[in-house]
Amino acid sequence: MNLEVDLGIKISNPFILASGILDENGYTIKKILESGAGAAVTKSIGMEERRGYEPPVVYENDPVFINAIGLSNPGIDNFGEEIKIALAAKKPVIGSVFGKTVEEFSLIARKMEQYGASAVELNLSCPHVNGYGMEIGSDPDLVNEIVSEVKSKINIPVYSKLSPNTSDIVEEAKAAEKSDALVLINTVKAMAIDIKAKKPVLSNIYGGMSGKAIKPVGIRYVYEIKRELNKKIIGVGGIENINDAVEYMMAGASAVQIGTVVYKYGKNIFNKMNNDLVNYMIDNNIDNIDELTGVALK
């Protein structure tokens, strides 16, 4: 039985820790890799240290989870040591990168490569400096420029993480076509109101929704992009159990990332996912994990 997935780098099983969950610190990343994750994506790292927004930064009312952390991170120059610590688990560590300009993306990606990252993931959901209030992903020319520049400067695989908050995700995916894989989806823009206080819950007013409530949105984007572009896709959004992961693979994903549910079940979710996948493959006579990718496509 083969659980190995080829994403430009080989990962031993299709379950990857998603960006932003217990991954700003090398030791926690290492622990999660040792607990069965096939690979881990780091917190998105920018040029400089950022503290993020004031609390409250999270709203939780199962199945709804909304966060507005504000891309808090230690800055790329302080992150090399964390990658080194995480790599001691001897599994791929994928460096997530965000920037305000093409140059920032390029510089941070190059540093990630120098630090030993196995691949980089471009977080294209951050605010676009010139397009006020808009995300970078909403500007296909800029997406194309960022991906081309980063691809030309580093030798490790480049993944592009797309935002569902753009008017046309197919355009965004086409603009990122030079990537080695597309990562779908980032959080869905949302908000909640505290009706007693008569004001928005989050200090930033708007946040990004994750967790099982967004799974059908993620499935739809993976399916649609796989059908349109036939690129390698890493599915993410609301995966809580093996059936959710299989659903993403049948929609077209080659691997999946797991985020919010790690808060709920802890890092042991990765071992459970692996065991449940093996049982699923035995029950369904599947020898190779690749056989699942895109089987539901029409």
Ligand X SMILES: Cc1cc2nc3c(=O)[nH]c(=O)nc-3n(C[C@H](O)[C@H](O)[C@H](O)COP(=O)(O)O)c2cc1C
Q: Choose which of 236, 242, 269, 277 interacts with ligand X (CB under 6 A).
A: 236
Residues 165-204 that bind ligand X (CB under 6 A): 186-187
What burial class does residue 257 get, using C-beta atoms within 10 Å of its C-beta: 0-12 exposed, 13-18 middle, 19+ buried? buried
Structure tokens at 141: 């020319």
What burial class does residue 141 get, using C-beta atoms within 10 Å of its C-beta: 0-12 exposed, 13-18 middle, 19+ buried? exposed
Beta carbon nearer to ligand X, 21 or 158? 21
Beta carbon nearer to ligand X, 156 or 184? 184
Contact call for residue 3 and ligand X (CB under 6 A)? no
What burial class does residue 287 get, using C-beta atoms within 10 Å of its C-beta: 0-12 exposed, 13-18 middle, 19+ buried? exposed
Strand pairing partners for 160?
122, 182
Question: For residue 265, which of 15, 4, 78, 41 has the smallest C-alpha distance?
Answer: 15
Q: Choose which of 210, 254, 274, 293 interacts with ligand X (CB under 6 A).
A: 210
Residue window 33-52: x/- pattern of binding to ligand X, with contact defined by CB under 6 A: ----------xx--------
Q: Is 126 a catalytic residue?
A: yes
* Amino acid sitting at position 250: M
What burial class does residue 133 get, using C-beta atoms within 10 Å of its C-beta: 0-12 exposed, 13-18 middle, 19+ buried? exposed
Contacts of 49 (CB under 8 A, 6+ apart): 73, 74, 75, 78
State in angstroms the smallest separation of the CB of 20 from ligand X. Answer: 2
Q: Choose which of 7, 14, 19, 231 interacts with ligand X (CB under 6 A).
A: 19
Beta carbon nearer to ligand X, 138 or 186? 186
Q: Choose which of 30, 111, 161, 232 interacts with ligand X (CB under 6 A).
A: 161
Stretch that binds ligand X, among 1-9, 18-26, 82-90, 290-298 (CB under 6 A): 18-26
Among 21, 57, 71, 126, the one annotated catalytic: 126
Contact call for residue 99 and ligand X (CB under 6 A)? no
What burial class does residue 128 get, using C-beta atoms within 10 Å of its C-beta: 0-12 exposed, 13-18 middle, 19+ buried? middle
Which residue ranges make up the site for ligand X (CB under 6 A)? Answer: 18-21, 43-44, 67, 69, 71, 96, 123, 161, 186-187, 210-211, 214, 236-239, 258-260
Return the active site residues. Answer: 126
